[in-house]
Amino acid sequence: MDLYERVGKEAGIDAVVDEFYKLVLQDDLVKGFFAKTDMKMQARKQKQFFNHVLGGKNYYGKNMKVAHKGMGVRDVHFNRIAELLAKAMSNLGVKDKEIQEVLAIVATTHDDICENPVIEWNLQAVAIAVGLAAVGGFIFYKYYK
């Protein structure tokens, strides 16, 4: 039996997505992303997407990169969404094995969804470190030569 069938096919996915968005809209970290969103349409798109990636019907929506461009989604948001999805599935009795398989699929979308601050921070840290090393080297050279 494939993952689509094990999570309850279309009816199971519909229930998970509905439960998921109930949790999302109560979560202070991520609910702001949906403040101006038509949630019925959003849930419909999400259901279509999950039906597709879990082995059901085809998905005809935007790709993840286009759909999330400019939203400012960071790792912390992505991780919270994954946690809430896992909680929604658990609340509905989806088994841990299936939850982990779904989360593995969700993880493949990370790079298309996130605008990753870790990379930005690392570039800033390198620039600062190089600048400090240059200043430190100058000070060392000037006073200890």
Q: Which domain holds residue 132?
A: 117-145
Do residues 42 and 58 share a domain?
Answer: yes
What the block records as the tokens of 33 is 């992303």
Count of domains forming the chain: 2
Do residues 123 and 105 share a domain?
Answer: no
CA 127/CA 101 separation, integer angstroms: 39
| CA of residue 1 relative to chain centroid, distance | 27
Q: State if pTM tops 0.85.
A: no
Here the contacts of 102-105 (C-beta below 8 Å, separation 24 or greater) are: 102/3, 102/7, 102/54, 105/53, 105/54
- Looking at the chain, how many residues does it have? 145
Do residues 98 and 138 share a domain?
Answer: no
- Which pLDDT score, from 0 to 100, does residue 132 have? 47
127 pLDDT higher than 70: no
Do residues 67 and 41 share a domain?
Answer: yes
5 pLDDT higher than 50: yes
* Residue-averaged pLDDT of the chain: 80
Do residues 122 and 145 share a domain?
Answer: yes
